[in-house]
Amino acid sequence: MSARVALVTGAGGGLGTVIAAGLHAAGYRVALADLDEVAAAAAAAALDPGGETALPLGLDVRDKAQWERTLSALLERWGAAHVLVNNAAMTVARPVMEVSPEEFDAVLAVNLRGTFLGCQVFGAHFRDRSHGRIVNLASLAGQNGGTATGAHYAASKAGIVALTKVFARDLAAGGVTVNAIAPGPLDTPMVHRTVPPERMAALQAAIPVGAIGDPRFVASLVVQLASPEAAFATGATWDVNGGLYMR
């Protein structure tokens, strides 16, 4: 059987790069999409300098036409698409009473609209071929109303949890699963930008396990949910938060 093909958005850095690396290590051909094409190219070259199994793509997740072109690029390059990981996100740490309407809309356009459009475009393609895996990156902030990353970020991530259920229900009969992963604070550049060094010790002390998370574990969970064997897992939000939120 030929190698499976995955697209990871927001793969030019941070968690997206780690997820792309995890899928690549598992044998996937991986397209690394990012608004920053230079960053996507660098991340792809780090995985496969020859460009045979890692493809960088520019993608503005807010634009449905660009999603359609991205899918076409995968099909032209590798003849298939099996997995979508909606990871692209915008984070602005700002007190809720200071968030402008424009900033609120901008964050939701990337995080929530982007996830919606990806699920629409790739979900239809997967459904028509009776197989596909979609993994959406939600967040602990969308479950507990966390404010460290901004109220608009939290609201967008809560919306992703709901969209995951909607698409999971709609696409299940077509052989497509849709799941979300909701990480707590991870050892990523985004977390270190949001939490200044003088607050990091207090943050870790507030986490029941006493440390922030390893993004490589999130990548391994993506690989598991993306596998052909994961057909019975759908519509779920998988928590990876060190015990900060239990249910």
pLDDT tens figures, 33-59: 999 999 999 999 999 999 999 999 999
- Which helix (H) or strand (E) segment holds residue 106: the answer is helix 101-108
Domains and CATH numbers, the chain: 5-240 (3.40.50.720)
Q: Which residues, other chains included, contact 31 with Cβ-Cβ below 8 Å and sequence gap of 6+?
A: 5, 6, 7, 8, 54, 55, 56, 57, 70, 73, 74, 77
Confidence label for 22 from pLDDT (cuts 50, 70 and 90) = very high
- Which helix (H) or strand (E) segment holds residue 179: the answer is strand 176-183
- Are 119 and 177 contacting, i.e. CB atoms less than 8 angstroms apart? no
Work out the angle between the directed axes of helices 14-25 and 37-47 (0-180°, nearest 10).
30
Confidence label for 87 from pLDDT (cuts 50, 70 and 90) = very high
**pLDDT > 60? residue 226:** yes
Q: What percent of the chain has pLDDT over 90?
A: 91
Q: What confidence score (pLDDT) does residue 1 get?
A: 52
Active-site residue set: 153
**pLDDT > 90? residue 131:** yes
pLDDT tens digit sequence for 166-202 = 999 999 999 999 999 999 999 988 888 888 888 888 9
